[in-house]
Structure formats: structure tokens, C-alpha cells
Structure 1
Amino acid sequence: MRHWFAANRSKLIHALRMTISCLAAFALAAALALPQAFWAVITAIIVTQSSVGGSLKAALDRFVGSLLGVVYGCAVAILMPHGDPPARALALLVAVAPLSFFAAISAGLRVAPITAIIVLLGTSGASLGPLGFATDRVLEVGLGCVVGVLVSVLVVPARASRSVLVTAAEVARLLARQLDALAADGSAAEGNTDGKGQADMNALALRTRKALTRLETLVGEAARERRSRLADLPDPDPLLRTLMRLRHDVVMLRRAVWEPSRNGAPEWSWAPVAAAAAARLGSLADALAAGLLPAPSDALAGALADYRTAIDGMRKAHRTRDLPTDMLWRLFGAGFALEQASRNLADLEERVADFAARP
């Protein structure tokens, strides 16, 4: 059980926050005698996300969408008679069509047409009137938004800014594993045809892409926390851009050295550079996750210098003269990818230093 709780700690905390949001919203709605307390409860649960930044976004989207739907739906209900089914259908058309267009433009406004439909067709609106029903709806949704955000901030808060560092370190480690796999596989220098090796590399690439997608979402949430003065970490967007460039470098290297060659391959010396880059990525990932300054290292620069020397030696010995075009592309493409990776790793080192010694 102890291991289970440790593995599911974040999920259990999120469930706790949602439960507290639900009960707090219900208690406040009952205390304020709101006629439809369930809207406040539902909104509080929707707004309570896994991070503070996510809760801020959900609250803004929910409130703005509901307010737009309430105002426009109330105007249609007042200006257009909708007592019989044909008139109600026409009112629905007028209310839903433009709001659906706005929802297509911005996903955050998807609740707007739903709210307008509730204002027009809700049974409570018949007794309260469109204006009274709309007012209660805004109060209930606003209450749910406030409760959801407050619970996210006060009850075991999970900052997206911190999750950015953990996820960025995960991306760096996955990229390092890809480089390690390329460097360790001796057959890659001659064109790897091992189906299992290719499948493992594809699985690593898929995990890296998913982690980058998750990181991009967290960066957006962290930006909202910074704008709301809920976090004082540096802007994580440059960190995301650097990791995306490094992923592109790894993809380029994999394509250059993994493609099978019909004519054999020369003695390549790219593997030590890839291994040094993987080691550097791993150390930077550890420093980023721990909030420490990255330790200096010249291993990558030395391996890259040896690579250049080897390529120069091949050219002076005229060993590249008779190579086919695809082999030349692979040879110099690998060199270009490694050069770019070295520059981007230097940039990543600066980004890691920006986050060092931060809470």
C-alpha cells in the first residue's frame, strides 16, 4: 500500500482538491441560497485542475464562456418570443449559430452555446424570467470559478512552474537515451537493419514527442502563474524552444546514421560525439530537476574536435571522392546535426543556469 500511495500521490492530491472544491462550492451556494447550486459545484470541479496555472485557465475560459452565453442567450430570450416549438427552434438558431462560430475560433468558448441553450430551454428560466435566470447562472458559475482557483492555490498547490522543470528534465533524459542507443549500436554505422532496434528507437521517439507536448502545455500554464504573480521563476518558453531544437537535432542524426547503405559505410567517428552529447544531456537534466548549476564539461567539445579531425583526414586521403551521394549526405549530415546539437546544448546549459537556485 505504501508503494501504491507513493506512485499515485499526485492523483490522490488532485482528487482531494476536487472533493474539497465540490463541498466548498456546495456549502457557499447553499449559504447564499442560490437556486441551482449544482452549477457552482460542477464549475468548481471543472476549474480544479492538476496545476494552479491550469486552474486559472479553466476558470477564465469557463467564466468568459458562461458570461457570453448568458448575455447573448438572455438577449435572444427577451427579444424573440419562443413559446411554441417553431419559435423556439428559430430562437435556438439565432442564439447558437454565432456562439458556435466563436467556440470554433476559441476552444475556451465552447461553453457559451451550451449556456445560451440552458437560458432558452431551461425550466427554471420560465419561472425566474430570462434576466433573473441569467443573473443566477453568472453568480453560480462565478462562485464555482472562485472556489476552484482558491482550492488549487491553497490546498497542497501544484505549481506548473515546478512541473515544467521536472518534465523538461524528462525530455532531456529521453533525448539522451536516444543518443546513447545510437552511439552504443555498432551496427548503426553500417546501416542498422535490426527491426527490434528500430522499434525501440521509435518507441523512445514517441515518448519524447509526448513529453514535449506535455511540456508545451505546462509552459502555457506556468506563463499564467507568472502573469498572476503566483510564481517567480524565469520564463520557461526559451527552455521549451531549446529542447525542441535538440529533438530536431537527434532526429537529423538518427536519419543520417540509421539509414541502411547499399555500398557500405566508411569508418565513422560520430559515435563518441553522440555518447558525449548524451552524457551532457543527462547531467543537465539532473541539474535542472535539482535546481542546481550545471557542472562544466569539455568532453563534448573534445569529441567534436576529434570528429572534425577524422573527417578532415578522410578528405585529405581522398576517401570521400568515390563515395556515393547518399553516403556523403549521411557523412556530412551527421556532422551538421552534431554541430547543431553542440550549440543547442550550450544554450540549454544557459537555460538550466537561469533556473538554478530557484524555489
Structure 2
Amino acid sequence: MTATVRRCTPSAVPRFLHSVVSISALRQAIRIAIACAVAFAAYKLLGLKQGYWAVFTVLIVMQGSIGGTLGAALDRLLGTLVGASLGAVGAWAHDGGVIATGGALVIVASIGGYLAVLRPQLKVAPVTASIMMLTMPANSPIATFVIDRVAEIMLGGLIGVAAMALILPARSGVLFTDRAADVLDTMDALVGDMANAIRSGTTLALGTTLVALRPALIGVEQALKDADREHAARLWRHAIPPAVPRTLWRMRSDIVLVARALNPSFSDLVRASLGEPAAALLLRLRDEIIACAVALRAKRRVERVDVAGARQVFATALTEFRVSPAGNALDLDTAGHVFGLSFALDELSRDLRDLADRIDEING
């Protein structure tokens, strides 16, 4: 039997170190460590019998931003209130026997699960209800037990939010900017690959990267929701227009249309007339995508790129090609790809200009 030895190339080592030594991860580790210490000390000083739930809550609710943590803390508190109420009713309704307890547990858990489906914010409700019924000491006052659990969860949530807001604050608006810029970096690479493909006549394979854009864009939307939550709670104000994530989604759709138009690759006859103008326009669009990403990270207005000139060159080449013998000889499928490419490039240009305008609004 032979063993396979994996070698680390020089370029792989810095990449590995970068993934391990993350400034944002270290900051989060510091916040969690301090918040856990405070929660532990608080529940000991307050004499809470099961105050360790405050520590558990800190670990559960602390997200990557203030807004995310606030949302998670509110959801957990709401779920705890509902779950504790269900658990209290279940504990009151049975006589302590094994069968009666099991039946009440099943009913309470199913009701909590039903509510969690209707309202995802209540996903901890069936868990809380079940824990309460299974851990409530015999002959313990139900109301006192419920109040203690809610107090412990509330304490942990408050400590988690305070830690995110006061210890190396992680604002959702900053997270939004980073995520949106990362999406633009991916789009920049996609558009560059498209330009190279149309010039060389090679087949375009972007499926995996295009699929990866979807969760990235969902992350952008979530960061904006968290930023809005911070804004509503007066923890931090932002001026991010809600149109930004919508425009990024439209740009993804435009890129998908361009990819479909270029697959299969155009014949040498088509590329001889349209290849260079289309590639030049794609590269201009790529330059503007890069300019938008730079502006987001640098918090300044977008340095505009002359996309209109490249669009005019492509439009002229397309018009000449349409009336040429080669253009008239195109089969229906190829003609659909050619005009689909023209439409997609126009849409991408329009949406990219709209994105640049929205970034200018953010950065004044």
C-alpha cells in the first residue's frame, strides 16, 4: 500500500495562514470570551439557579454584527417566552406520571413545532418548552421557574448585544459593504472570463461560480436587514439604499444571460465581426465593476468608466453585421444567441450604471 503525500506549495502556505489568522474571527473570539465571562459572573452574583442558560444564550445569539446579534437575541427571547408558556401549561396539565408527562411533552412539542413553521422566529419555542418540562424540579412553583428561565435568556441576550456594540463594534453596514464588494469581485472575474472566451472562441463554463453568487447575494440582503435593525434601534445609522441588493441581483441575471448567449461559442465567422467589439465592451464593463468595488471599500464616489463609447462601437459592428451576407446567412438559433448577447450587454450596462449611482448616494 502506498501513501499519498500532499505537498504545500509556497503560494498555498500564505493562503492557509490567511484563512487561519482572520482579524474579524479574532475580534469575534475576543467579544465572545468577554461576554461569556460577564454572563458567568452576572448569574453567579445574581444567584440564578440555572443561570448557565445566560452563558448558552450569549454563545447562541452572538453573530457577526450588532444587527445580527440583536435580531438573534430578540428571536430567542420571543421563542423563549412562547416556549416557556407552552412548557408551563404542559407542566400544569399532567400529574407527574410517566405516561402523562410523555403525552403532555408530545402535545407541547408539536404545538411549538407548528408555531415555528408559521413563524421561523419561534424555532426555539419547542426546544424551550421541552427543556422546561423535562428539567422542572418536582413541587417547584411553575411561575417562578418560567420567570427564572426568561430572566436568564434576557440576561444573556442583553450581554451579547452589549458586547457586540461596545467591544470592537462590528456594524452591519460595514459587513454589507464588504459582502457587496466581494460579490462585485466575483462578477469582475466572471465578466473577464467571458471577454476571454469570446475572443478565443473557447467554451464558457461558469456554472459553479454563478451558483456561488446566489448565497453571496443572500448574505448581502441579510447584512442590509441587520443594518436596518441597527438603524431602527438607534445603534448605528446608515444611508444604504434598499435598491443596491436588488441591482446586484439584476446584474447576476444579466451575467447569466450573457453566459447563455456565449454557450455554445460563436463561430469564427461571427467572432470575426463581433468578437473584438463584444470583448472590448465586456472589459469596459469589468472596469466599471472594479471601480464600484473600489468605491465601496474606499467609501468614495465611483470613478466612472467610458462604457458608452464601447457600447456604441459594439452597436455599430452589430448593425453592419446584420446587413452583411454573413449576418443574413445565420441560422435562427445562432441569430438568437447574437441578439441575446446584445440585449444582455445593454441590460448589464444599464444596471451597472444604476449601481454606480446608488453607491454615490451611499458615499455622498
- Asked if these proteins are the same fold (TM beyond 0.5), I'd say yes
Instruction: Give CA-to-partner distance per residue, 1:184-242, whole Å, 9 cap, x none.
Output: 23555x4x24xxx62xx344324433422321221221121121122221234311111
Deviations 1:302-339 (A, max 9, x none): 01011111111122335322211111111100000011
Residue 346 of structure 1 and its aligned partner are, at CA, apart by 1.2
The answer for unaligned runs of 5 or more in structure 2 is 1-13
Letter paired with 2:124: V
Q: 1:63 Cα shift?
A: 0.3
What amino acid is the match of 1:182?
M
Aligned mate of 2:164, from 133, 142, 152: 152
Contact 1:223 1:235 in 2 (8 A): no
- Alpha carbons of 1:210 and 1:44: their partners in 2 closer, same or farther (altered >3 Å)? same
Match of 2:107 in 1: 94
For residues 295 and 262 of structure 1, do their structure 2 counterparts lie closer, same or farther at Cα, with a shift above 3 Å needed? Answer: closer
Partner Cα distance (2:106, 2:208) in 1: 48
1:129 maps to amino acid: P
Name the counterpart of 1:255: 260
SS in 2 for 1:36: coil
2:87–2:108 CA contact under 8 A, matched in 1: yes
SS of residue paired to 1:305: helix
Within 5 Å, which residues of 2 pair with 1:198-237? 198=205, 201-237=206-242
The CA deviation at 1:11 is 0.7
Partners of 1:302 and 1:108 lie apart in 2 by 50
CA separation in 2, counterparts of 1:147 and 1:263? 65
The superposition leaves residues 124-150 of structure 1 with CA deviations (integer Å, 9 ceiling, x where unpaired) of 432422221111111111111111111
Gaps of 5+ in 1: none
**2-structure distance, mates of 1:217, 1:205:** 19
Root mean square deviation of aligned Cα? 2.2
**2:117 equivalent to 1:104:** yes
Residue 43 (structure 1) aligns with: 57
> Quick one: which of 327, 347, 350 aligns to 1:343?
350
Aligned pair in 2 of structure 1 residues 4, 258: CA closer, same or farther (>3 Å)?
Answer: closer
3-state SS of the aligned residue for 1:344?
helix
TM-score where L is the length of structure 2: 0.89
Q: Which residue is 2:174 aligned to?
A: 162
C-alpha distance in 2 between matches for 1:258 and 1:204: 16
2:197 corresponds in structure 1 to 185
Partner residue in 2 for 1:26: 40
Deviation at 1:10, TM superposition (A): 0.8
Q: CA deviation at 1:260?
A: 3.6
2:183·2:216 contact (CA, 8 Å) conserved in 1? yes
Match of 2:302 in 1: 294
Deviation of the 1:243 alpha carbon: 0.8
Residue 219 of structure 1 aligns with an amino acid whose one-letter code is L
Runs (4+) off by over 4 Å: 2-6, 261-264
- The amino acid across from 2:104 in the alignment is A
Percent identity over the alignment is 31
CA distance in 2, matches of 1:301, 1:5: 40
The correspondence for 2:291, drawn from 283, 294, 311, is 283
Q: TM-score, normalised by structure 1?
A: 0.90
Counterpart residue identity of residue 308, structure 1? A
How many residue pairs are counted as aligned between the two chains? Answer: 347
